[in-house]
């Protein structure tokens, strides 16, 4: 499984940590993983199960539910090229 590295500017991360603590950093990491998942889902020949595994979900259904909460569409819709609801 490949690791995901998220590039967060030090100043931003420091300010976020000072005001929000670990919870903010966890939220940033989660958002980074979900945004990467969206990019992978738009690549040809990617499956929901493969992307779920890449971003750390053992259960594709749990990933699909989290993805839909984050973006307003299912991972399958994303694969089909439908737009993100923001």
Tokens describing residue 85 = 């609801």
Q: What is the pTM of this model?
A: 0.68
Dihedral, CA of residue 16, residue 27, residue 10 and residue 57, to nearest 10: 170
CB 38 within 8 Å of CB 71: yes
- 31: nearest Cα among 74, 70, 79, 80: 70
* Separation between Cα atoms, residue 20 and residue 67, nearest integer Å: 24
Q: What is the pLDDT of residues 11-32, one digit of tens each?
A: 555 665 566 555 666 677 778 8
Please state which CATH number belongs to domain 10-79: 1.10.10.60
Tokens describing residue 41 = 């889902």
Q: What is the pLDDT of residues 49-63, one digit of tens each?
A: 999 999 999 999 999
Q: Where are the domains of the chain?
A: 10-79
């Amino acid at each position: 499984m490949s690791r995901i590295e998220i590039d967060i500017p030090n100043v931003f991360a420091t300010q976020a940590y000072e005001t929000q603590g670990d919870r903010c950093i966890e939220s940033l990491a989660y958002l980074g993983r979900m945004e990467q998942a969206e990019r992978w889902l738009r690549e040809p020949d990617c499956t929901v199960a493969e992307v779920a595994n890449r971003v750390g979900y053992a259960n594709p259904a749990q990933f699909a539910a989290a993805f839909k909460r984050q973006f307003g569409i299912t991972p399958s819709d994303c694969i089909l090229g439908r737009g993100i609801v923001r």
